[in-house]
C-alpha cells in the first residue's frame, strides 16, 4: 500500500470515528451518569476563544458552573457576554498563568467565591508557528506558558480541589506532536526517550533538565542538530513536557485516600480550526473540545495519567 493510500485510509478511519463521537454526543447523560450539579465548579484556562471557549460552552450546557479565565480581561468579558446571553451559568475572572500575582489573586477569589473547584481544564497555551513555519524564536515563551504555566497553576489549585466520592478532575490539553514514541516528530535521543518513558525514573528534575537543555541549544543555535522534534519544535517540546508531567502527577495523586482522589489525564484535540493553527486545521472546535469535556465528566473514573484522542486512549 502506497503512502497516498495509507493517508486516505487514515482519513477514512478518523472521519468514521468523528461520526461515532457525534452520535455519542447526541445521547444525553443518564441520571446515573450525572455525578455533577450546578454546584460543581469547573475552571477553564484560556477560555476566551477557540477550544477553551467551546469547552466552557459544552460544560455549561451540561449544567455545571463554569469559571472562564483568560489573560486578556476585555476578551474574556466579551466571551462571557456571549455565553450568558445564551443562558449559560458562566462567570469570568482574569488569569494569566505565567504571572504569579495574577495566579494568587485568582486563587484567593476562587476560595472566597466557591470554596474551591471540582474540575480544572488546563487549556491555555501559545504557538507562534503557522503553516510550515518552524521558528524557535519564541521558544522561551512557549515553554514558560505551555508547560511551566500549567504546572505552577496546577500545584496551587490542587489544595483547593474539593473532596468527593467520584473524585476531582484535571484535564490537560496537549498534542500528539509531543508524543515520545510516535513514528514521526519524536526526539531522536533514545536514552532520553527511555528515561522520560520510565515512571521509576521520571521526575520534575528530569523534565526541567530536558527543557533547559533544549532552551540552551536554542540560545546557542545548535537545536537543529540536537535531535529535537522536526516540526513545530518548541510547541512539540512543550507538549512533551505536559505529557510527562501528567504521568508524573498521576503517580503522586494516586496515593491520595478515597474521597480525596484527583484524576489527571491529558488529551489531543486534533488539528483544529483555531487562531492557534492559523485556522488551517481539519477539525471543528466542537470536535476539538469533545474529548476534554468527556474526560472531565466521566462517571466511572478509573483512568489516571493517560493520554487520549477522540475518546480513545493513545500511546505517549
Per-residue pLDDT, averaged over 65-81, amounts to 95
Nearest-angstrom CA–CA distance, 160 and 118: 9
pLDDT at 6 over 70: no
Q: Are the CB atoms for 45 and 124 separated by under 8 Å?
A: yes
Residue 204 domain flag: no
Per-residue pLDDT, averaged over 193-212, amounts to 97
C-alpha cell at 136: 524557535
pLDDT at 28 over 90: no
What is the set of active-site residues?
235
CA angle (151 as vertex; 155, 163 as ends), nearest 5? 35
List strand residue ranges (DSSP E) for 95-246, in order: 119-122, 168-173
Provide the pLDDT for residue 16.
83
Provide the pLDDT for residue 281.
67
Provide the pLDDT for residue 178.
96
Q: What is the DSSP string of 36-67?
A: --TT-EEEESSTTSHHHHHHHHHHHHTT-EEE
pLDDT at 70 over 80: yes
6: part of which helix (H) or strand (E)? helix 3-25
Q: What domain range includes position 95?
A: 31-176+257-314
Q: Which of 70, 49, 68 is nearest to 60 (CA)?
A: 68
Residue 236 domain flag: no
Scan for cell 524557535, then name that residue: 136
Dump pLDDT digits (tens) for 250-284: 999 999 999 999 999 999 999 776 666 666 667 89
Residue 103 domain flag: yes
Residue 63 domain flag: yes
> How many structural domains compose the chain?
1
What is the SS3 assignment for 272?
strand
pLDDT at 131 over 70: yes
pLDDT grade, residue 83 (50/70/90)? very high
Q: Which of 5-14, 54-63, 159-168 has the lowest mean pLDDT?
A: 5-14
Residue 240 domain flag: no
CATH number of the domain at 168, please.
Answer: 3.40.50.720
Dump pLDDT digits (tens) for 35-44: 999 999 999 9
What is the SS3 assignment for 278?
coil
Provide the pLDDT for residue 7.
66
Give the max Cα distance, the chain.
61
Q: Which of 253, 70, 248 is nearest to 158 (CA)?
A: 253
pLDDT at 228 over 70: yes
Residue 61 domain flag: yes
Single pTM value for the model = 0.94
Given phi > 0 = left and psi -120 to 50 = alpha, else beta, which region is 20?
alpha
Residue 222 domain flag: no
Q: Are the CB atoms for 181 and 197 separated by under 8 Å?
A: yes
Average pLDDT of the chain is: 93
Q: Which of 152, 138, 131 is nearest to 249 (CA)?
A: 152
Provide the pLDDT for residue 106.
98
Residue 269 domain flag: yes
Amino acid at each position: 500500500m502506497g503512502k497516498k493510500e495509507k493517508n486516505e485510509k487514515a482519513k477514512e478511519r478518523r472521519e468514521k470515528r468523528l461520526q461515532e463521537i457525534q452520535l455519542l454526543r447526541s445521547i444525553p447523560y443518564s441520571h446515573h451518569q450525572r455525578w455533577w450539579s450546578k454546584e460543581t465548579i469547573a475552571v477553564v484556562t484560556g477560555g476566551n476563544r477557540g477550544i477553551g471557549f467551546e469547552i466552557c460552552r459544552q460544560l455549561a450546557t451540561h449544567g455545571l458552573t463554569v469559571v472562564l479565565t483568560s489573560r486578556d480581561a476585555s476578551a474574556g468579558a466579551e466571551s462571557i457576554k456571549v455565553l450568558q446571553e445564551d443562558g449559560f451559568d458562566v462567570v469570568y475572572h482574569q488569569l494569566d498563568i505565567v504571572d504569579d500575582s495574577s495566579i494568587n489573586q485568582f486563587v484567593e477569589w476562587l476560595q472566597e467565591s466557591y470554596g474551591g473547584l471540582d474540575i480544572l481544564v488546563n487549556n491555555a497555551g501559545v504557538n507562534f508557528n503557522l503553516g510550515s513555519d518552524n521558528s524557535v524564536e519564541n521558544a522561551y515563551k512557549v515553554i514558560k506558558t505551555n508547560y511551566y504555566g500549567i504546572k505552577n497553576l496546577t500545584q496551587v489549585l490542587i489544595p483547593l480541589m474539593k473532596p468527593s466520592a467520584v473524585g476531582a478532575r484535571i484535564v490537560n490539553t496537549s498534542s500528539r506532536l509531543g508524543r515520545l514514541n510516535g513514528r514521526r516528530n519524536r526526539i531522536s535521543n533514545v536514552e532520553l526517550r527511555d528515561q522520560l518513558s520510565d515512571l521509576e525514573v521520571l521526575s520534575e528534575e528530569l523534565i526541567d533538565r530536558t527543557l533547559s537543555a533544549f532552551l540552551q541549544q536554542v540560545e546557542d543555535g545548535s537545536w537543529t542538530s540536537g535531535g529535537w522534534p522536526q516540526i513545530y519544535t518548541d510547541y512539540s517540546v512543550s507538549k512533551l513536557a505536559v505529557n510527562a508531567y501528567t504521568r508524573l502527577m498521576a503517580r503522586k495523586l494516586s496515593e491520595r485516600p478515597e474521597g480525596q482522589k484527583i484524576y489527571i489525564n491529558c488529551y489531543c484535540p486534533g488539528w483544529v480550526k483555531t487562531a492557534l493553527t492559523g485556522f488551517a486545521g481539519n477539525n471543528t472546535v466542537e470536535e476539538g473540545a469533545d474529548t476534554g469535556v468527556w474526560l472531565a465528566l466521566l462517571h466511572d473514573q478509573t483512568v489516571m495519567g493517560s493520554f487520549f484522542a477522540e475518546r480513545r486512549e493513545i500511546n505517549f
